[in-house]
Structure 1
Amino acid sequence: MKDAQLCEYDARKAHALGMGGEAKLAARREKGLLDARERVAHLLDAGTFVESGLFGTSIMAEERGRTPADGKIAGYGKIAGREVAVISNDFTVKGASSSAVNGRKIGHMKRTATARGMPIVFLGESSGARMPDTMGAAGMGTMLGNDPTQYQRMRETPWASAVLGHCFGSSSWYACLSDFNVMRKGAVFAVSSPLLVSKAVNEKIDPEELGGWRLHAETTGLADLVVDTDQQALDAVKTFLSYMPAHHRQAPPRASVPEGSGAEMGGILDLMPEKRTQVYDMRKIVRTIVDKDSFFELKARFGKALLTGLARIDGRTVAIIANNPLHKGGAMDVDACEKGTSLLVMADSFNIPVVILVDTPGFIIGKEAEQRRAPGKIMNFMNALALCTVPKLSVVVRKSYGQAYLNMGGGRNSDEMAVWPTAEISFMEPAFAASVVTGAEAGDPAYDAALAKMQRETSVWDIASIYAAQAVVRPEETRDWLAQMLEAHELRLTNGVGQHLMRAWPTSF
């Protein structure tokens, strides 16, 4: 009897581990795609995965033999020695469609990760709701809405998502709810599949146009990073988590400082053109200041006038917000505001100090900006900055004008503000201001006199003299100053933990 029971255990386990069968797995291999279990193996430290729900199947009796693990693989493991929870969608089983049983798996992983203080990773590839389970009133009442916290984010632990195939329904929801979402080229995520949308609108819909990587990287901003392969996506998740604490009541981990960090600071001013209206790539400034090879850029293709990302300075995790004059001269638009707000919310929720590098002529104005609700987006950005309870350090490297001066940390909206001696600060570009004040143009004596006066008054010495800037630093001393200020403003009374005033801020807006 015991031998028979053990044999049954072995057979059931082999069936579950076999997923959707060798033919489907072979087809994936031919396309260069990892299967759901290979993805887990690549993500986690070797030998650390402990599965939860291996023997789960469809709740429908007739489907139990055809639904190993019910299409979603769940469990616990370690990344770089730290415990995480993981959900990996198995597209070879019913398209990893959402069902009553695999929904319980997701719920259990989320509750456990929250209660025990560990990040959770969603590896997305799913076809949406499983029709036999959800059709009809009883199906709806069984499947939907039974957990009022299903789509609630209170940011107790970091969430990371990888979009690794066609993602509809829950996979797209968790991509949007996550703090970090990486997307593989060729993958798609949307509310519903192209087939369903095509039927709804009575025209053929291209999957890439519906929810491809270009759309989400460049237009919606829902993809934080785009990569070429599954392996690169999983590696990006590991990199992201390396900057993060395990939970919101913990400071981020401190890393060793790579050799060569700060070695190029002596030439940092050479990275900026002599002519103040000439463009340059702020990434070069950022990479020179932070620890060597530590800048992990987020949303690089979205809101390009603003750089955002994670980095380290002297081994400490920091969130970087920086104007990039390479795009729109560094003038911020609605997308840039959303991008900056998103990073501020995440940084404050997970106790990450914010470093702001400033070189902006202000916000883009005009009819299109107003139609896209620019005033509201600017104020969202401003409100997030004001609610941020982690240390905020800003450095004006070239210019800071108008309301953007406040959004980028001026006016006591940062804990410490430094300026380079070469910088300038004013309400608007002096040439525009002189024209507004005098009603004249270049060559008119009144205009020329007003312009000369306004140019003199943009000097950093004026703002330093009234202590509206706490320091004037030589460009080559910027890294050292930031490291010293991070040390000075460490949240010692709370062991590096902020107040998390934005923990319930929407993840997608």
Structure 2
Amino acid sequence: MASKHDIASPLLGTIFKVAVAVGDSVHAKQEILIIESMKMEHPVEAGVDGVIASIAVSEGDTIAAGQVLVSITPGVIAVHTEEATSSHSNHERDDLARYRERRRLTTDEARPEAVARRTAKGQRTARANIADLVDDGSFVEYGSFAIAAQRQRRELDDLIRNTPADGLVGGIATVNAAEFDEDIARVAVASYDYTVLAGTQGFLNHRKKDRLFTVAEQLRTPVVLFAEGGGGRPGDTDAAGVAGLDGPAFALFARLSGLVPLVGITSGYCFAGNAALLGCCDVIIATENSNIGMAGPAMIEGGGLGVVKPTDIGPIGVQTANGVIDVRVADEAEAVTVAKKYLGFFQGATKNWKRHDDAMLRDLIPEQRTRVYDVRTVINALADIDSALELRPTFGVGILTTLLRIEGRPVGVIANNPTHLGGAIDADASDKASRFIQLCDAYDIPIVSLCDTPGFMVGPDAEHTAQVRHFGRLFVTAASITVPLVTIVLRKGYGLGAMAMAGGGFHSNAMTVSWPTGEFGGMGLEGAVRLGFSKELAAIEDEQERNELEAKLIARAYEHGSALNMASHVEIDDVIDPAETRQRILSVIGSTRSWRARDGKKRPMVDAW
């Protein structure tokens, strides 16, 4: 006869349930009783195939650890019941079914009417924009089950169905992972959902932002923010407090400036708090239907400032001309395309690139020194094909600011624009260049300066723009950078303006070279001759003779200020064949360094303006 198999209690507790009786056949994995201990149920299995010989306890008994509970006579059991042998049920568990339904309610598919309204306006949902931005299958959402903090005024089912994610979809993902390593491609992304309470900033979506911005800081990931929405939400009733002005979201986001790239995208209405976050971003990409303002119609009216339509507040034309918007696009699809391209510059060098023939650079500057040309032709010829991305093209037009690649390596270019004021630098152009230099330096992108300027703008009217301070800003910003700055003089290199384009002086940067068309002077040469030789010229009474002397002196000044003569005095580093430009730049900038390898920030911030 087989010896009995005793089952002892593994712990102190109470018998909650006895599931077998004496004489029952059991298999080894079969649950035969349940012990309750510390409010937790602990199942006990038979351990062997056999027949229940005796049961030493009853339901409700208190038992000690090691106490014998059941004895089993081991033996072969002819048939195992379906319940005993099956480890899975065809019926879905209630908790999993409930989860799946709640998850479904967070999706666009659960809200077809809201999606249809969005589509009718020619716009996409928050989730559709994120899906387009990130690599397939890479998005990991944070806080998806949040709902509006309005349980005191609305039914829970209503909130679950109509305020998914509390109007903010956010998480981490990768962008451009096909070109870069996964760690480099990782980003944080947050998108206000205009189909939920007009994309307003609610109590819980503020908490979600706080969490996401903190994670972005910890992981050192760029942040992409889709900012469309109406600002603060007054209707949340569940949050304690008075005004909510102690929330950390704005400080947390602003603290990321200079630590990780911040990309702002907006479409439609972006007002108040949403616009405040947008304004902290390094780059703002906006669609044609955008209206951006620090207050919406309700706040404006509430302040006694009249009744206005939302479309009258900060339309695309205004916010592009004034420099708020960096890149103007047709729609959200183009905005996402631009965002991916922009992020790529901060993800490093690429291996797949095509470039123009170097020889084409030789013919871009007209031989006639007073003939205007489009400096964008030079920028595009230097750049790898289709790599250039110009920022703020209609603001501060005296200097162009462009991100591009040269043989795959990210480079930031500032370039004087000879079609505007002859290339003279005004206050807006100085501000624009200063901020761009900060952006490049913060994330270790080398800078190339294409210089063709008669200097800073002068005159009584110009001084109304506070240009003394604005021009000073360009000097102090350039003096604070550590990335290589290479200056290429295309034509004019005059006065303080040319010095500013070289980081403060022609020997203040990593390299200053000139094309053969370069001409130099402490100021415009005609003015220099008329000022420096005023007595000699005034002493000549005959006008023709005086003009001939002036022309002779000016010609001499141009020869003296030629690029070759400047190089012979070592005031610049070299004169080069324009076809050598790309090679000279690459010889200085070297390999692209990663801002991620640095602990903390290089600069305190990237100036919002």
Q: Normalized against structure 1, the TM-score is what? A: 0.90
Deviation at 1:429, TM superposition (A): 1.3
Distance in 2 (alpha carbons) for counterparts of 1:434 and 1:93: 68
Matched residue, 1:416: 511
Q: Of 361, 377, 402, which residue of structure 2 is paired with 1:309? A: 402
Deviations 1:341-382 (A, max 9, x none): 111101110010001111111122233432221111111111
Structure 1: runs of 5 or more not aligned: 246-252
- 1:211 maps to which of 270, 292, 314: 314
1:197 pairs, out of 300, 316, 319, with 300
* Counterpart Cα distance in 2 of 1:120 and 1:163: 14
Which residue is 2:526 aligned to?
431
Mapped to 2, the partners of 1:10 and 1:457 lie a distance apart of 80
Q: Which residue number corresponds to residue 575 of structure 2?
A: 472
- Show the counterpart of 1:248: none
Cα 1:20–1:332 change in 2 (3 A) is farther
| Structure 1 stretch displaced more, 117-126 or 478-487 | 478-487
Equivalent residue, structure 2, for 1:262? 356
The DSSP-based 3-state class of the residue aligned with 2:440 is: helix
The size of the alignment, in residue pairs, is 496
Residue 4 of structure 1 aligns with which residue?
A: 94
CA shift at 1:243, angstroms?
0.7
Task: Tell me, in whole angstroms, the C-alpha distance in 1 between the residues paired with 2:496 and 2:195.
Answer: 53
Evaluate the alpha carbon distance shift between residue 149 and residue 497 of structure 1 in structure 2; reply closer, same or farther with a 3 A threshold. Answer: closer
- Residue 398 of structure 1 is matched in structure 2 by 491
Determine if contact 1:389/1:498 at 8 Å carries over to the other structure: no
Give 2:172's match in structure 1, choosing from 72, 76, 79: 76
Instruction: Note closer, same or farther for the CA distance 1:187–1:70 as it changes in structure 2 (3 Å cut).
Output: same
Aligned to 1:382: 475
Task: Give 1:61-140 correspondences, 5 Å limit.
Answer: 61=151, 62-63=153-154, 65=159, 66-81=162-177, 82-133=185-236, 138-140=241-243
Q: CA deviation at 1:104?
A: 1.2
What's the offset of the Cα at 1:401? 0.8
Query: For 1:83-112, what per-residue CA distance to the aligned partner results, in whole angstroms no more than 9, with x for missing partners?
Result: 111101101111121122111111111111
Q: Could you tell me which amino acid in structure 2 is paired with residue 51 of structure 1?
A: E
How many Å separate the matches in 2 of 1:19 and 1:122? 23
Q: Distance in 2 between matches of 1:212 and 1:492?
A: 39
**Given that residues 485 and 510 in structure 2 are in contact (C-alpha distance below 8 angstroms), is that contact kept between their aligned partners in structure 1?**
yes
**Within 1, Cα distance between the matches of 2:290 and 2:551?**
57
1:334 is displaced (CA, Å) by 1.2
Contact map agreement 1:181 1:222 (CA 8 A) in 2: yes
Q: Indicate the structure whose relative CO is greater, using CA pairs within 8 Å and at least 6 residues apart.
A: 1
Show the counterpart of 1:24. 114
Provide the secondary structure at the position in 1 that maps to 2:368.
Answer: coil
| Identity fraction in percent | 27
Q: Does 1:237 align with 2:327?
A: no
TM-score by length of structure 2 reads 0.76
1:48 aligns with 2:138: yes
Q: Which residue of 2 aligns with 1:293?
A: 386
1:492 & 1:272 partners in 2: Cα distance?
Answer: 33
CA RMSD of aligned residues (A): 2.7
Counterpart Cα distance in 1 of 2:291 and 2:512: 42
Residue 30 (structure 1) shift: 1.5
- The reply on whether 1:170 has 2:170 as its aligned counterpart is no
After the TM superposition, which of the residue ranges 231-240 and 497-506 deviates more from structure 2?
497-506
Q: Distance in 2 between matches of 1:144 and 1:494?
A: 29
Aligned AA for 1:433? A
Structure 1 residue 470, shift from structure 2 partner: 1.2
Q: Is the 8 A contact 2:399 2:414 kept in 1?
A: yes
CA distance in 2, matches of 1:41, 1:492: 30
Distance in 1, matches of 2:599 and 2:492, equals 30
Letter in 2 for 1:258: W
Q: CA deviation at 1:209?
A: 4.7
Please list, as runs of the form range in 1=range in 2, the aligned pairs for 1:214-229 lying within 5 A after superposition.
214-219=317-322, 221-229=323-331
Q: Are 2:104 and 2:110, in contact at CA under 8 Å, matched by a contact in 1? A: no
The answer (yes or no) to whether the contact 1:362–1:403 under 8 Å persists in 2 is yes
Aligned equivalents of 1:75, 1:493: Cα separation in 2: 23
8 A contact 1:178–1:507 mirrored in 2? yes
Contact 1:420–1:472 (CA under 8 A) maintained in structure 2: yes
Does residue 58 in structure 1 map to residue 148 in structure 2?
yes
State the AA in 1 paired with 2:579: E
Deviations 1:278-335 (A, max 9, x none): 2111010111112222111111111111111111112111001111112222111111
Of 407-416 and 222-231, the range deviating more from structure 2: 407-416
Q: Which moved more, 1:326-335 or 1:47-56?
A: 326-335
Partner of 1:249: none
1:32 alignment partner, SS class: coil
Cα gap change, 1:30 to 1:499, in 2 (>3 Å): closer
CA–CA distance in structure 2, aligned partners of residues 121 and 368 of structure 1: 40
Say if 2:507 is the partner of 1:507: no
- Counterparts of 1:491 and 1:129, CA distance in 2: 41
In the other structure, the counterpart of 2:126 is: 36
> Aligned with 2:441: secondary structure?
helix
Q: What amino acid is the match of 2:95?
A: Q
Asked if 2 retains the 8 angstrom alpha-carbon contact of 1:388 and 1:501, the reply is no
> Helix, strand or coil for the counterpart of 1:132?
coil
- 3-state SS in 1 of match to 2:255: coil
1:21 shift after superposition: 3.3
1:2 Cα offset (Å): 8.1
The alignment partner of 1:222 has SS state of coil
Rg larger in structure: 2
Moved more, 79-88 or 57-66: 57-66
Residues 279 and 325, structure 1, Cα contact 8 Å, conserved in 2? yes
What secondary structure sits across from 1:138 in the alignment?
coil
Decide whether aligned partners of structure 1 residues 147 and 302 sit closer, same or farther in structure 2, where only a CA change above 3 A counts. closer
Deviations 1:464-499 (A, max 9, x none): 123221121011211122122223xx5889998699
For residue 453 of structure 1, report the CA deviation from its aligned partner: 3.2
Cα distance in 2 for residues equivalent to 1:12 and 1:159: 32
